Amino acid sequence: MTATDVSTSSTPAVSERTAAHIEATERYAAHNYHPLPVVLAEGDGAWVVDVDGKRYLDCLAGYSALNFGHSNERLVAVAREQLGRLTLTSRAFFNDKLSGFAEALCRLTGKDMILPMNSGAEAVETAIKVSRKWGYEVKGVPAGQATIITMEGNFHGRTTTIVSFSDDEVATSGYAPFTTGFRGVKYGDIEAVASAIDETTVAVLFEPIQGEGGVVMPPEGFLRDLRALCTERNVLMVADEIQSGLARSGRTFACDHEDVVPDIYIMGKALGGGIYPVSAIAADREVMDVITPGSHGSTFGGNPLAAAIGTEVVAMLEEGTFQARSAEIGAQLEAGFGRLVGKGLSDVRVRGAWAGIDIDPTLMSGRQMSEALMARGILAKDTHGSTVRFAPPLVASDEDVAGLVAAVTEIVAAG
């Protein structure tokens, strides 16, 4: 193979075949991402293969959408069977898969009802709409005055409304004017939340773990205190578990680590098993009943294919094996990366099979770490300068995880 530099002198050399795919993508697709120069073609379990036949350990797992691994046999079998029967009816009609999915997801969350959508951002938008409508119709907030408290450093999606309460300049620059009605407070600061609540507040929207921020966790006890505060002040506690939920953190939901149940769960990513976009919110009837025919909808939300896959995902989670495996991976990651603090890493944060490492910025950037890992057959994603996130599929073996730790150790030692 002939090595070709596809863009700049700092870009790792790639084959002509890889370069051709990258060049065509860059020419015809908008540049809203900055991918590593690898073109993937196949996936199985925790591993993927590029167009040149090189194998990589996938330590991003589609931002936790692939918790159950690539080409999971159970999920692929369900999807194939449903593909040959019925894929879409629209919600103008009932279908024979939605009822089972709704019942299963209610059982998993302990809630009365779900509202199915497609992408995570759609689910967040749905939770915002439900919270506001509940505020007007149930709490009695004056029309047009509902406010929602959000957290600094959040990432909930890319729609105009969602970036309205983001403090990421890259996500917000050039997209104003923004949607009003949001109040940002310091993440994990219960006193700041309490001070921000007034008679117009309908909800507190938060991530139990901030994934985009680099697997950032609030102080111990914050979720319990937030639950008590929301109950006391008659405000909905809305947990965005799109990345942190469905076994990623070592429990079914990240809120489970403090035995807290929010008023609304927001789910996505792994709910579709990495096969199909499936998202949903779950809440009790007194909250969800504000949604009436015509007040919200989605052409694809709750379609038979999505419902069939989502039902199987719930069945897999109810077995508990993925949560247990996530906790095992987390223990291995914490032990391995913990030894590197002060030896190239300035901080390590681990919760289940989810880790964020902060690299000494004088050593290298997160992008440079990601490129060095790619050269060693491991795929990961940087964020915020010198931070790198790891979220391997929960089917990764002990050997796979050991290989990741060894690679990071080698890279920081080399400087």
Active site residue 269: yes
Active site residue 133: no
d(CA 227, CA 229): 5
Specify the fold of 38-70+322-414: Aspartate Aminotransferase, domain 1 (3.90.1150)
* φ, ψ dihedrals at 348, nearest 5°: -135, 135
Distance of CA 186 to the CA centre of its chain: 21
Number of H helices, E strands in the chain: 14, 17
Q: What is the pLDDT of residue 231?
A: 98
CATH code for residues 73-318: 3.40.640.10
d(CA 332, CA 408): 14
Catalytic-labelled residue, pool 263, 269, 358, 390: 269
Active site residue 111: no
d(CA 263, CA 81): 35
Q: What is the pLDDT of residue 12?
A: 75
Identify the CA nearest to 185 among candidates 205, 199, 202, 171: 205
Length of the chain: 415
Identify the CA nearest to 383 among candidates 60, 123, 164, 64: 60
d(CA 82, CA 69): 20
Give the type of residue at 172: T
Identify the CA nearest to 109 among candidates 287, 329, 275, 303: 287
| pTM attached to this predicted model | 0.96
Residues of the chain with pLDDT under 70: 1-11
Catalytic-labelled residue, pool 240, 263, 358, 382: 240
Catalytic-labelled residue, pool 101, 155, 322, 390: 155
Domain boundaries, the chain: 38-70+322-414, 73-318
How many other β-carbons are positioned within 10 Å of the β-carbon of residue 383? 18
38-70+322-414 against 73-318: fold identical: no
**Helical ranges in 155-303 per DSSP H:** 160-163, 169-172, 190-196, 222-233, 285-288
d(CA 278, CA 272): 5
List, as one string, the DSSP characters of 264-318.
EEEE-GGGGTTTS--EEEEE-HHHHTT--TTSS--SSTT-HHHHHHHHHHHHHHH
Q: What is the pLDDT of residue 359?
A: 98
Q: What digits encode the pLDDT tens for the residues 211-244?
A: 999 999 999 999 999 999 999 999 999 999 999 9
Q: What is the pLDDT of residue 37?
A: 97
Specify the 3-state DSSP secondary structure of 38.
coil
